[in-house]
């Protein structure tokens, strides 16, 4: 099964966790601009140097910087991918459409993971990420078997620097102003489905697989 998909949703909606599960099942590439940018920051690349201050402040990284890290990857995998954390504003959505249209490989579906605003803050501030493998736990909702230790690889869990309460308010404000309007952008193009993200993780994965499966390019 293959296809070109976008996963929308607020910070803390569970995009990263769900994207990993769904991509494994569908065999499509998981492209997270947050992960690509954090990797750029860690390796000290020019894009990483430009991105760091914006990320620490909970602001959007300038479009050109995001394009540089994403499109070098996307250009070799136009067949099957799921974008997580991109697009985040209208300029990014239009640039994505332009590139995919030029290649004759438009998007197949966009799914929004919907979580009520009042649950987002606690989801983000309780998130703990494995230093070694990137697996995501939550101190309350997805507790590791041993506190502070990754279930998958035994690595040390840590809080992402932009998951602190001081920065999260800014990230949620940016989401509401710039990213949430993309729901209408994709609904107008007949691409949008919505999944209730306020349930246990397995139920959400099932719904996502169903929503994406309907639009997959299997057998086409
Ligand atoms: P979350 O979805 O939980 O906010 P991400 O890992 O997707 O986390 O993003 C972390 C940060 O990386 C964002 O706050 C922003 O600074 C930057 N970033 C990620 N994707 C984009 C993008 N498409 N455009 C601009 N900035 C981005
Ligand atoms: Zn781990």
Please write the tens of the pLDDT for every residue from 103-147. Answer: 899 999 999 999 998 999 999 999 999 999 999 999 998 999 999
What is the percent of the chain with per-residue pLDDT over 90, rounded to a whole number? 86
* Domain topology for 4-116+166-219: Rossmann fold (3.40.50)
160 is catalytic: yes
Give residue limits of the domains in the chain.
4-116+166-219
Dihedral (C-alpha) 128, 132, 134, 135: value to the nearest 10 degrees?
A: -70
Nearest to 32 by CA among 52, 2, 9, 7: 7
Distance (Å, rounded) from C-alpha 105 to C-alpha 102?
A: 8
**pTM of the model as a whole:** 0.91
Q: If you measure from the C-alpha of residue 163 to the centroid of ligand 1, how many angstroms do you get, rounded to a whole number?
A: 11
Residues 103 and 95: their CA atoms lie apart, in Å, by: 13
pLDDT for 218 equals 59
Question: Is the N-terminal amide bond of 87 cis, ω within 30° of 0?
Answer: yes
Assess whether 42 carries a catalytic annotation: no
Pocket of ligand 1 (CB under 6 A): 11-12, 15, 33-34, 37, 54-55, 58-61, 66, 85-86, 88, 92, 162, 171
Please say if the pLDDT value at position 170 is more than 50: yes
Q: Ligand 1 pocket test: pick from 60, 134, 173 the residue with the most ligand atoms within 8 Å of its Cβ.
A: 60
């Amino acid at each position: 099964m293959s296809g070109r998909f976008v996963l929308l949703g607020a910070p803390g909606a569970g995009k990263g966790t769900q994207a990993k599960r769904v991509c494994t099942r569908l065999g499509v590439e998981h492209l997270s601009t947050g992960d690509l940018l954090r990797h750029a920051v860690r390796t000290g690349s020019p894009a990483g140097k430009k991105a760091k201050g914006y990320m620490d402040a909970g602001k959007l990284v300038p479009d050109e910087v995001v394009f540089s890290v994403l499109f070098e990857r996307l250009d070799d995998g136009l067949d099957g991918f799921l974008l997580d954390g991109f697009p985040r504003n209208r300029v990014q959505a239009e640039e994505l459409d332009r590139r995919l249209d030029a290649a004759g490989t438009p998007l197949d579906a966009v799914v929004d993971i919907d979580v009520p605003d009042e649950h987002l803050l606690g989801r983000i501030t309780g998130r703990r990420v494995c230093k070694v493998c990137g697996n995501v736990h939550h101190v309350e909702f997805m507790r590791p078997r041993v506190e502070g230790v990754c279930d998958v690889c035994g690595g040390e869990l840590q809080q992402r620097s932009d998951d602190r309460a001081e920065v999260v308010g800014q990230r949620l404000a940016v989401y509401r102003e710039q990213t949430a309007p993309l729901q209408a952008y994709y609904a107008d193009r007949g691409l949008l489905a919505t999944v209730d993200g306020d349930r246990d993780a397995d139920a959400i994965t099932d719904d996502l697989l169903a929503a994406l499966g309907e639009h997959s390019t299997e057998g086409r």
